[in-house]
Amino acid sequence: MKDPQTPPDPLARKLGVLISGRGSNLQAIIDAVKSRRLNAEISVVISNKSDAAGLRRAEDAGIPTVVLDHRDRATFATREDYDRELVRELKVRQVRLVCLAGFMRLLTKVFLDAFPNAIVNIHPSLLPAFPGTNAQYQAWEHGTKWTGATVHLVNEELDGGAIVMQEPVPVLDGDDVDTLSARILEREHHLYPLAIQLLLNGGWRVEGRRFVAAHHGG
């Protein structure tokens, strides 16, 4: 049986985390690295908003931060210009896996092509149900009995890339959107570091829509 903590090539452990707000998933990744549940290094945290609370979390953990304000039209005339700069910031730090953690921007081909099968996102539903924004509300409003969290690779389709890991979460009778969101978020924090470790361990492949994990049988 392969030890999941076997150190991969040190360069291949480098993460870039992209945020726009609260950064609780970023915190979960920071905590998992600190407690050695996740064998990785966060090389940079990038936010498109200067007031994102997650920036503070990164600073507190001694992680370099970069703010790229998408509203700065003088610097970023197009979405592609913006993404080119994002790619530059990530490549200069030799980032191998880009983790979107509440990063509220659609990525262009410039970004996707620079990191093939190396951009990952967490979404608060069991995809393909309820893609897009307010996924927790969508599930609650629809009246599903189960929803959950999904970690998926990012492609040109909104929340449509290959599914890496999922975790189900029950919708309880007394739930409102806030209680449901909190229950999902707690599972997100558990799931995201696990999925990142799986990706960093390598040996997996994507077959059509399907993510096929490495076979660890001995």
Catalytic residues, by residue number, are 123
Quote the least distance from Cβ 67 to ligand GRF, whole Å. Answer: 15
CB closer to ligand GRF, 29 vs 200? 29
Distance in Å, CB of 12 to ligand GRF, minimum: 24
Complex with ligand GRF: residue 137 or 204, whichever CB lies closer: 137
47 contacts 71 by C-beta, under 8 angstroms: no
Closest CA to 5 of 43, 33, 27: 33
Pair type for strands 146-153 and 163-170: antiparallel
**Closest residue to ligand GRF, Cβ-based?**
102
Angle between helices 24-34 and 53-60 (to 10 degrees): 10
Binding region for ligand GRF (CB under 6 A): 19, 21-25, 54, 101-102, 122-124, 185, 188
Closer Cβ to ligand GRF, 89 or 188, answer by number = 188
Q: How far apart are CA 120 and CA 62, in angstroms?
A: 23
Please say which residue, 68 or 215, places its beta carbon nearer to ligand GRF: 68
DSSP H/E element including 194: helix 177-201
Q: Smallest distance, Å, CB 207 to ligand GRF?
A: 25
Nearest to 163 by CA among 110, 135, 123: 123
Nearest distance from C-beta of residue 2 to ligand GRF, angstroms = 29
Shortest separation between residue 74's beta carbon and ligand GRF, angstroms: 28
Give me the sheet containing 41-47, strands edge to edge: 65-67, 41-47, 14-19, 97-100, 119-123, 146-153, 163-170, 210-212, 205-207
Question: Residue 9 or residue 60: which is nearer to ligand GRF going by CB?
Answer: 60
Measuring CA to CA, which residue among 108, 94, 115 is closest to residue 44?
A: 94
